[in-house]
Structure 1
Amino acid sequence: MDRTLNPAATAPTNRSAHAVGLAEWLSRRAARAPHRPALSCEDVHWNYGELVDRIECMSAVLAAGGVGAGARVGYLGLNDPMFVVVLFATARLGAICVPLNFRLSGAELSFVINDAGVHTLVVGEEHIAVIDPVRTTLACSRYIHRGAGAPGWEAADALLADAPPVPPAVPVRADDVSVIMYTSGTTGHPKGAMLTHGNFWTNNLNEMFLWDMVSSDVTLNFAPMFHVGGLLCGSMTTLLAGGHLVLQRGFDPQAVLDAVVKHRVSVSFGVPAMLLFISQHAGFEAADLSSLRLVAVGGAPMPEPLLRLYASRGIPVHQGYGMTETASMITFLHPDRSRDKLGSSGTPPLMTEIKLIDVMGDEVTAPGATGEICVRGGNVMPGYWNRPEANATAFTADGWFRSGDVGYRDAEGFLFVCDRLKDMVISGGENIYPAEIESVLYDHPDVAEAAVIGAPDAQWGERVVAVIAPRPGKTVTLEGLREFAQSRLARYKLPKELRLVEALPRNPTGKVLKAKLREHDAAATRKG
């Protein structure tokens, strides 16, 4: 038949958009090499053909329960092959996946699940006990347990074993929402960032071009996949490239080192705290890490001492800066510039743009001048789920996403992220960026972890407070910290107060919860 006479065959917008869809590109990749290893996790080892078979079966199970285009499917559980299956099965139906933070309480999960309007909830066995007490508050239509079954839950194993016929894949457009990822919500309720199929596609291409991802790559993911770092920093790109994705259910430094050796891992991602804990593990020095061709890091500023340590092991660290709202990547610093651009987060990838604006909204272009970082590109979300008031302030009038981060660019255009606007300390009229001070404090031989916050000060407005977790058996004093840092920091940046803790409070992705630190500091001040 002459396809030029068939209207359906000449709809380039629908065809090209459909190819961008998560389930479509994975299906095409699997068809090219179905026998190549695709996914491993503990005793599970699937090739691409087996992975797609399970995705198609799950799409049949979900569709039979009423999931259709636009419906939301929630997943609550540790990293697991079932999460990957649910993600792509949901996309295959034109529905929306909602990864849920497994560290939240039942009440917190209830808010997120109802805010997203989750139709079908899939839960791992470790978290049934969190959901059962709040089920009466949920508006879900169906509850599936990943495993053999539990009272009041449908068993995923049985459903998949007796799955109905596989339904046709639903065509999607690039701007259709594929995933709603909820921000950490350190203040107020979390917001759901709507990430589209096009957002995923753009981020995948950005990473593929920057990291030279190929089908021979083996990527280790130990970051939680309910977070944009675990889901998008390497994991999806590996599958698009036809590589082998190795999942770990949670983060454990010894398990990471063992997996790198066992699978000859070439690519991995972590936040600075994870890399710090790995480096402090007793097995770090002896482990054969020679297969690693890159470790990507993001989520927080990378302390300079940690960069130097990994460089001394011959491990290239690719520093990145990204957000949930931008489907991860905003800028990227290649290791070959890490020495002369120490502290920079790099430049935007191929398909993303940035600019800086001042408090009046005017663009800041002078080298060294600070401004709020704004982002534009195919990886930027269209907005927050059911949050018109937040969307009104999240974007500039001409469509740039406002990150809420402060940064500056040098003469070559390399971005340096100073800090979050809300974390900046203003003392005596001077803007002080905690990340700069923290990087210096991490160099102290007796400091295991460091965070800097601001506290109210009657004379200066705010004062710098250092929150330190000392190394085991070591002692840290305020005088010692100030003496150590005074040659590298201006006097007004030196800590005026010291709080000692056993460990810094962090969210599941490793970010320091500075709001909690400020709350504790305020409580300690009141008691004092």
Structure 2
Amino acid sequence: MYDANYLATRLAAGSAENRDAAFLVLPDLDRHITYKQFFAGSERIARLLSDRGLAAGDRVLVYAPKSATSLELYFGCLIAGFVYVSINPGLPIDNMSYFLSDVEPKAVVCGEKDRVAMAREAEGSGAHLFTLDADETGTLIDARNAVEPGFQAVPREAADIAAILYTSGTTGKPKGAVHTHHSLWSNAEALVASWKFARDDVLIHALPIFHLHGLFTATNVVLASGGSCRYLPRFEPKAVLDEMPVSTALMGVPPFYMQLLETRELEQAAKNMRVFISGSAPMLPQTHRAWHERTGKTIIERYGMTECSMIASNPYDEARKPNTVGFPLPGVTVRITDVKSGETVENGHFGMIEIKGPNLFREYWNKPEKTAADHTEDGFFISGDFGRYDADGYLSVLCRVKDAVFTSEGTVLPKEVEEILDEDAAVAESAVISVPTPSGSAAPVAILVANPGAQIDTERLKSAVDAKLDAFKQPVRYIPVGTMPRNAMGKVQKAALRETYATCLETADEKSCEHA
């Protein structure tokens, strides 16, 4: 269908036998979009942008709410050879000057509410500006509908750039991870096989699409398998439960599952579901247990990051271990190395996670020095995550290196403390962070969220930790809070916690920490 366009040809092949099947079902708008309609809309967008002077390799920056047309724009960029650049629409508009100057897009798509501000930010760039909103309105749609259908796909090779996704930028400016046609296809192909997606699968899509999880993982897997998406504007427990009886799969983040566990209808709704997949943040063991007890199904936890897409997954047909992300995907190699020596460590020992495979990004956009610094001489990407393999070869992601606590006596991995704290019946969730000490070192501090109606007993927690961990690994403060700060993908923002409690140990008064 899209001969000579590497990724588009392969993604479109999944629906080759039935273009009239529904690709996207939009329950909130009471409509559906067939594969035939989806490809036609994508082709019109490709023609529209080409007619405006865009050529292969030009960047299209998207800072817009989730919509079905956003996916048509993504696929339209693929077939025209443009580079799709996705930016979190939740970021303040004044952040856009950085992204605009970094990728120098030839077209920009934003929500109507940001049109005036975006025009000001992009003034003088020569970029074409379009609007697109969640209700499927905007100048992009108007312009698309005015274009004649049909478009001859632009040839693209495996190594050509398909998209740029920016890292979260928690330490310094966000970096643009450059993904090629092959890096995205190899990941989609591996996930379809690993999670056994097929044409009769119906995925509940409640994820944002500025992130690789919702854009590449969910969308590309469904396209490649020829399945269908129940396409929701956002995650809402009732809306997801309503879709479960007519669906087979859900991709989500831990807070999705935690909120669904609070509903009464879960058991009945989940009966038809084939698979539940979670990632983007670690899942608490008690969430795994509660989900299995309520539904009889075990969640597949997986591991991914912006630079690598999906890296590892718990198996579909074998045991799925909580607190692990399973095994590397087909074609992907993951090794654990000693931080100082760089030598590979034995199973059971922790170290730096390093990754090699066709899923890897090509480079950081406009950052050759950073690209080189984050790769080893033999081509492995240095993830910045600590991890380890257990005796059975299951991989665990322990923490970001920047989240570890480097005390004067040794390194504390927050997860080994959090696992003990989370076992307490009163604790809903914990986060162990590194806080400076008056002596100039660092010490672990535990931030705790209580279960509804429960009272956290810090003395009981101290006894539990004392029985299992060396003294230097034990938190020096236990601080109860109402909620944890999270990013858009549900991950606890430990950097925010470290900032909030940075002066926590400057006083001996433990109570003062609670109001930091």
Fold conserved between structures, TM > 0.5: yes
1:519 counterpart SS class = helix
1:509 Cα deviation after fit? 0.9
Within-5 A mapping of 1:81-160: 81-125=68-112, 127-128=114-115, 131=118, 134-136=121-123, 139=125, 141-146=127-132, 155-160=139-144
In 1, the alpha carbon distance for the partners of 2:238 and 2:159 equals: 41
CA distance in 2, matches of 1:70, 1:324: 21
> Is 1:244 matched up with 2:234?
no
What's the offset of the Cα at 1:372? 1.0
Alignment of 1:241-320 (within 5 A): 241-261=225-245, 264-280=246-262, 282-285=263-266, 287-312=268-293, 313-320=295-302
Structure 1 position 469 matched with structure 2 position 453: no
Stretch deviating more after TM superposition (453-462 or 93-102):
453-462
User: Which stretch of structure 1 is more off in the superposition, 66-75 or 108-117?
Assistant: 108-117
2:475 to 495, 498, 504: 495
1:325 lines up with 2:307 in the alignment: yes
- Out of 423, 435, 438, the position equivalent to 1:455 is 435
SS of alignment partner, residue 412 of structure 1? coil
User: Which amino acid in the other structure matches residue 109 of structure 1?
Assistant: M
Distance 1:453 1:265, change over 3 A: same
Alignment CA distance shift 1:491-1:357 (3 Å): same
By how many angstroms is 1:486 displaced? Answer: 4.5
Alignment partner of 1:72 is 2:59: yes
Shift of 1:230: 1.5
Write the letter of the residue equivalent to 1:39.
L
Matched-pair contact (CA < 8 Å) for 2:67–2:133: no
Shift of the alpha carbon at 1:37?
A: 1.1
Contact 2:61–2:84 (Cα < 8 Å) also in 1: yes
1:441 matched residue in structure 2: 421
State how many pairs are aligned. Answer: 504
* Contact 2:11/2:220, CA 8 A, preserved across alignment: no
2:19 to 34, 39, 44: 34
Q: State the shift of 1:273 in Å.
A: 2.5
Q: What runs of 5+ residues in structure 2 fail to find an aligned partner?
A: none
TM-aligned CA distance change 1:149 to 1:424, over 3 Å: closer
Deviates most, 26-35 or 514-523 = 26-35
Question: 1:119–1:140: 8 Å Cα contact kept in structure 2?
Answer: yes
Give the superposition deviation at 1:156. 2.1
Does residue 520 (structure 1) correspond to residue 500 (structure 2)? The answer is yes
Report deviation, 1:360.
4.3
**2:45 corresponds to which letter in structure 1?**
M
C-alpha distance in 1 between matches for 2:243 and 2:113: 23
2:359 aligns with: 379
Q: Taking structure 1 as reference, are residues 525 and 373 closer, same or farther at Cα in structure 2, changes over 3 Å only? A: same
Separation in 1, partners of 2:288, 2:134: 45
Decide whether the 8 Å contact of 1:371 with 1:406 is kept in 2: yes
**Following the alignment from structure 1 to structure 2, what is the Cα–Cα distance between the partners of residues 322 and 149?**
30
Quote the offset at 1:482 in angstroms: 2.1
Structure 2 residue matching 1:234: 3-state secondary structure: helix
- With over 3 angstroms needed to count, the CA separation of the structure-2 counterparts of 1:232 and 1:437, relative to structure 1, is farther
- Equivalents in 2 of 1:399, 1:62: separation in Å? 36
Q: Is the 8 A contact 1:149 1:156 kept in 2?
A: no
Quick one: which of 201, 208, 232 aligns to 1:224? 208
Secondary structure of the corresponding residue to residue 445 of structure 1: coil
Q: CA deviation at 1:510?
A: 1.0
- Mark the CA change 1:319 to 1:166 in structure 2 (over 3 Å): closer, same or farther: same
Q: Distance in 1 between matches of 2:134 and 2:318?
A: 51
CA contact (8 A) 2:207 2:213 kept: yes
Q: Write the distance in 1 (CA, Å) between the matches of 2:185 and 2:214.
A: 16
CA distance in 1, matches of 2:117, 2:24: 28
CA distance in 2, matches of 1:130, 1:104: 13
Amino acid at match of 2:305: M
Shift of 1:127: 4.5
TM-score when scaled to structure 1?
Answer: 0.89
Distance 1:356 1:227 in 2: 26
Identity of aligned residues (%): 30
Unaligned runs of 5+ in 1: 1-13
Name whichever of 302-311 and 451-460 sits farther off: 451-460
Which has the higher mean CA deviation after the structures are superposed, 484-493 or 310-319? 484-493
Query: Could you say what the CA RMSD is over the residues aligned between the two structures, in angstroms?
Result: 2.6
Q: Which moved more, 1:200-209 or 1:454-463?
A: 454-463
Q: Shift in Å at residue 432 of structure 1?
A: 1.5
Q: Is contact 1:268-1:296 (8 Å) kept?
A: yes
Residues in 1 aligned to 2:324 and 2:135: alpha-carbon distance in whole angstroms? 49
Q: Distance in 2 between matches of 1:457 and 1:53?
A: 61
